[in-house]
Amino acid sequence: MPSRTMAELSQKTHEIARLCQESGEPVRIIDNGKENLVVMSLDAYERGQARLELYGLLDEAEADFQNGDRGVSVESIRQRLLQCRRGLAVHVSALVGPWLSTAGGRHKAVSS
């Protein structure tokens, strides 16, 4: 991780911002010989936040597993998806069916 001084930050803000964006890395800001700040691009920050959120979800899943929760079976998910698919087909048919029947005979409604 590159480092810059507080004076450089105030004098070369745009240059440091460009460095952060181009490298994708944060830049340490040193003030009076001590690391004081870290400057990073918004993309780098959002990636870090997403990573933290994922780690939190993984921790929750591991705790659930340790407590005996084995989640949902693949077969159960498959059945739910099939039910959704059937429901969607019925919904679309109900929405589009009347339009197809009044389209001057050019289209015919398809029954499912």
Lowest mean pLDDT among 17-26, 48-57, 69-78: 69-78
What is the four-CA torsion angle of 39, 42, 46, 49, rounded to 10 degrees?
A: 30
| Model pLDDT, residue 106 | 54
pLDDT band at 14, cuts 50/70/90? very high
pLDDT band at 100, cuts 50/70/90? low
| Model pLDDT, residue 80 | 87
Of 21, 14, 65, the C-alpha closest to 46 is 21
Residue type, 106: R
User: Which element (helix H / strand E) includes 6?
Assistant: helix 6-11
DSSP structural state of residue 111 = P
- pTM for this one? 0.56
- The three-state secondary structure class of 25 is coil
Q: How far is CA 22 from the centre of its chain?
A: 22
Alpha-carbon gap, residue 44 to 50, rounded angstroms = 10
Q: Is the pLDDT of residue 18 over 80?
A: yes
Q: Is the pLDDT of residue 15 over 70?
A: yes
State the Rg of the chain over Cα. 28
Alpha-carbon gap, residue 22 to 99, rounded angstroms = 53
Residue 101 or residue 8, greater confidence: 8
pLDDT band at 86, cuts 50/70/90? confident
pLDDT band at 71, cuts 50/70/90? confident
Boundaries of every domain in the chain: 3-40, 73-112
